[in-house]
Structure 1
């Protein structure tokens, strides 16, 4: 069978079959991951294909580029104090989890910190692109997305520090390079918008993706993986929205959704091909179940208790927000791979993290009876938010409250 036919069959398998299985509440990314594991078991090292690896890089980079574009600073300001409290609690739980892993799991402190991030960081891109499928109301969607974005910003900063902390000199150089990139990206966007876009109408999407991929490879070269640079590029493009409205326009967002929805399945397939066979053991299964039974209820309880005590929400509303923030699939996969490559964690722990990621991803699908998905196009179907049904953060779940429009045109609860 020719290589071209194999690629066509793979594209069909990753883009069609997982969608068909979603009717059984099986998230499409998990199906793609299982396909990758099956390919690894069947072909061994032959499943490691450079073309698939490139498509996977485009997938994870475009997803985090889109996640950066989704950040709305005005919305985050409206919920600033609740979000700062959330980040403070998140920092404390991350530090506690890292300390336990360092002292009792026999891991280096950097690996222990990465393990804490892998277990506690919700996958923002995954969650935000699935909100419309969970049946949450407007206020719940707002706080789920805001908490996920704030948590991701904290996790990306922590990831950079942890990966660079082993070498102070390299960390200083990498920090300088990252700051230079953050200063240079706006200048690059403005320069392209001034000298290229006027002479090439409709090129804003291509320029956005190109700069996003460039930033992703720069941070990968700095040793902090693709997703950091892609996210920063998306965030910078969003901050330049007033000066360059076409860069983060609705049309560009829609085009990026299409782009990401095609390439993201290759990331999960590629991640599956890199799972070591030793990770698929009963020992890994037992450890994964143990981690899930301990960590997942703790994560849900912390968010539930936080919202109940601080804002007086109903039991149901607090629980729905906590459950929607449970998936960690993308961050767990990325950090598990980094821990295996750089800190040589055992295949048993690697397999346990994969199982934990799969179970946290399945939970909202089983509870809400709707399949979770990483398909940015799903947000296109989200109906406009009615300000009459958005509830105040501090009110009971049954009491309606007025809302105000955010900078992006959506409505958010008033504090």
Structure 2
């Protein structure tokens, strides 16, 4: 069969079949991941640089979008509840890392990465999925901001864990990251001054370009593509007053649509990298045992939100929405398996845990297409306040 036709059929299948499976409440990323495993099993040894590059575009654009969603002024305005949330999260990460180090005999770095893999909500995936669920503006506000604040903490912990092999490595990595944080805003300002006046409408392509370059820099540091892309998106959002064209609503929507096309390749490629031999009775038992954390995580978030005075039903929906750890678990499980020699059983167990917690919101939350939805229960964003009436200090 003609190779170009094979690629066309592959792209069509990857973009259509997982979306069709969503009618059965199966998240598209999980379908893409399993599809990658199936294709790798049917065609062992087959790989494509094009798929890898498309996967990089997918994860970079997704975290570029996540960075664009960060409003530091808004986070600061609601710092009270968010700081309490981060304090509880820091304690749970520390306790989980200690348990992993004690009972699995791990050094502190892989133990910390396991804790992050188990407890970090996948912000990009969650924000991208919110449109499917019937949630009010208030609920979306808390889901978005708790996910973002938790992700900022996780990225900082991940950077420290992966760069702490030596003082030289830590100093080099920190210096490079600081230079990147300074260079990205300067790159936006330079392009706005010397390129955009002569190329109106090029903001989207320039934003994607900077996000990809930043993603490759952090990947070379050993801390994955997602950190650099997130920094690029965050910088564009904070320059919103000086350079509104980069973080405009039109650009944010375009980045979201761009990522929705390429993200399936990321999950497909990750699935294709998982050996089938890793899945056995041991990995199943590990995955199910780890899943006992899910009700504890939901209960902890529900309790904190109730202390803020939110209704019990809203607390439940927000807590369930924050459950998926898909992307962070995939990224960190791969790092643990490749660089810290985590066993196949634990590697596959983490993936099973991620699959179960990612499936949960689709099964428990009403979607925007539920015909039996009660009047007024849908996410009527115009009828709800933009920010919750809670004490913020």
TM-score of the pair, normalised by structure 1: 0.89
What is the CA deviation profile of residues 210-235 of structure 1, one whole-angstrom value per residue up to 9, with x for unaligned ones? 01001000111111110000000000
1:338 to 327, 335, 340: 335
CA contact (8 A) 1:94 1:116 kept: yes
Cα distance change, pair 388–341 in 1 and its aligned pair in 2 (3 A): closer
What are the Cα deviations for residues 110-151 of structure 1, in whole angstroms up to 9, with x where unaligned?
Answer: 111100000000000111111122211121111111100000
CA contact (8 A) 1:285 1:352 kept: yes
Could you tell me which residue of structure 2 aligns to residue 356 of structure 1? 353
The secondary structure found in structure 2 opposite 1:16 is helix
Change (3 A) 1:157 1:67: same
Structure 1 residue 297, shift from structure 2 partner: 1.3
Runs of 4+ in 1 over 3 A off after TM superposition: 369-372, 382-391
TM-fit CA distance, 1:264: 0.3
> Residues 158 and 263 (structure 1 numbering): CA distance in 2 closer, same or farther, change over 3 Å?
same
For residue 352 of structure 1, report the CA deviation from its aligned partner: 0.6
Using the TM superposition, give the Cα deviation of residue 43 of structure 1 relative to its aligned residue in structure 2, in angstroms. 1.6
The whole-number CA distance in structure 2 between the counterparts of 1:105 and 1:298 is: 21
* 1:139-178 matched pairs, under 5 angstroms: 139-178=138-177
For the structure 1 residues 278 and 371, does the alpha-carbon distance in structure 2 shift closer, same or farther, using more than 3 Å as the test?
A: farther
Q: Which residue of 2 aligns with 1:27?
A: 27
Partner of residue 376, structure 2:
none
1:358-398 per-position Cα deviation (integer Å, ceiling 9, x unaligned): 110111111014399xxxxxxxxx8653356965236xxxx
Assess if the C-alpha contact under 8 Å between 1:62 and 1:256 holds in 2: yes
SS at match of 1:326: coil
Any stretches of 5+ residues in structure 2 without a counterpart?
370-378
Instruction: Answer whether contact 2:134 2:368 (CA < 8 A) is retained.
Output: no
Q: How does 1:82-97 map to 2 (within 5 A)?
A: 82-97=81-96
- Cα–Cα, structure 1 residues 383 and 3, in superposed 2: closer, same or farther, change >3 Å? farther
* SS of 2:89 mapped into structure 1: helix
Who is 1:13 aligned against? Answer: 13
In the other structure, the counterpart of 1:306 is: 304
Are residues 1:98 and 2:87 paired? no
Question: What residue in structure 1 maps to residue 221 of structure 2?
Answer: 222
CA distance in structure 2 between the aligned counterparts of 1:6 and 1:281, rounded to whole angstroms: 32
Q: Secondary structure at the match of 1:45?
A: coil
RMSD of Structure 2 on Structure 1 (CA): 1.8
Give the superposition deviation at 1:303: 1.0
Number of residue pairs matched? 385
Partners of 2:41 and 2:276 within 8 A in 1: yes
Q: Which residue of 2 aligns with 1:79?
A: 78
Q: Judging changes above 3 Å, is the alpha-carbon distance between structure 1 residues 299 and 232 closer, same or farther for their aligned structure 2 residues?
A: same
> How far 1:298 moved relative to its partner?
1.4
Q: In the alignment, is the contact (CA less than 8 A) between 2:81 and 2:308 conserved in 1?
A: no
Cα distance between partner residues in 2 of 1:83 and 1:369: 26
Mapped contact 1:68–1:238 kept (Cα < 8 A)? yes
Check the 8 A contact 2:67/2:232 in 1, yes or no. Answer: yes
Q: Equivalent residues in 2 for 1:355-374 (5 A)?
A: 355-370=352-367
Deviation at 1:60, TM superposition (A): 0.2
Quick check: 1:327–1:360 contact (8 Å CA) kept in 2? yes
**Counterpart of 2:4?**
4
Paired with 2:45 and 2:112, the residues of 1 have a C-alpha distance of 30
